[in-house]
Every structure is written in structure tokens, then in C-alpha cells.
Amino acid sequence: MPVRLSTIIASFALALFLNFLPWRDLRLMPDFVALTLCFWCIRQPRLIGLGVGWMLGLLSDAGNGVLLGQHALAYSILAFLSVWLSRRILWFGAGLQALHVLVILLVAQGVALLVRVASGTAFPGWPIFVGPIFGALLWPLVTWLLLLPQRRAQREQAI
């Protein structure tokens, strides 16, 4: 069952919306945009890839007022890893998939951190890596949620 483009666009809009919510401690919150991007890169590697990741990164950069290119670099590397590993990851069950995603999210976070430190900011401390862990824990839920429209369409077809 092919995925509809509107589903993908709506999910990215929702992820950006969640990222812009005024969270109390931003370090502990997962990056929803990274998670959604990772999901679509794994599920639809021919539709969603580095270009989309890069644009989303630019939007995040401008919205957060950080150096233009920080999230863009991190998200394009994340998209590359996800597209590259997509076939391998889809073989596993939800738990092992989440482990792969954890590594990908950690790499992306590390890249963003590296850019930040290179631009002269002090090291923000280890809690910054808690966000990706929460993100990986959310992976089964994200999978279930984002596949919901397709599954419903499938069921309707069967009836």
C-alpha cells in the first residue's frame, strides 16, 4: 500500500509543532523532527531522503535562532544513515529497530553538539544525550502511529 504524501507532510508539520512547544527542560525532550525524518527515511527511502532532511534542518535552525546549518548538517547525516540502513533495519523487530534508531539519533545529536562546541559554546553536559534515548524508546509508538493511515486503508480495501 503506497503512502500518501499528505500523511508525510502532516507528520512533519506535527513533529515541528511538537518541537516548538515550550518544554521545561529541552535537553531531556526527544527531537521529534529527527525521529519522524528517521522513520520516513527507513520506510520510504526513495521518497524522503537527504534533501528533505536538509530543508527541515534549515527550518529548525531558523526557528530556534541557532547557527544556520547546524541542524541541517545533523539531519542530512541522519537521513543518510537511515536511508543507508533502511533495508537492514526493516528486518528486525521493534526492539532491535529502536536500538538502531538510538545509534542514528545519537550520531545526529553528536554532530549538532560538535558544531555547537566548534562555534565556541561550552560543552552543555551529558544530559543532552538523554533526549535521543527517549526518542528511541518512543520508536515503537511512532511506528504504530505513522503506519496507522496505511493500515486503515488496507483494511478498507479488504472489506
Nearer to other proteins, 24 or 155 (CB): 24
d(CA 30, CA 68): 21
d(CA 107, CA 112): 9
Write out the binding residues for other proteins, residues 73-112 only, by CB under 8 A. 73, 76-77, 80, 83-84
The grid coordinates listed for 95 are 526492539
d(CA 159, CA 157): 5
The grid coordinates listed for 27 are 535537553
Nearer to other proteins, 122 or 158 (CB): 122
Nearer to other proteins, 7 or 150 (CB): 7
Write out the binding residues for other proteins, residues 11-70 only, by CB under 8 A. 13, 16-22, 25-27, 46, 49-51, 53-54, 57-70
d(CA 98, CA 133): 9
Q: How many residues bind other proteins (CB under 8 A)?
A: 46
Residue with cell 537492514: 88
Residues at the contact surface with other proteins, assessed by CB under 8 A: 13, 16-22, 25-27, 46, 49-51, 53-54, 57-70, 72-73, 76-77, 80, 83-84, 115-116, 119, 121-122, 124-125, 128
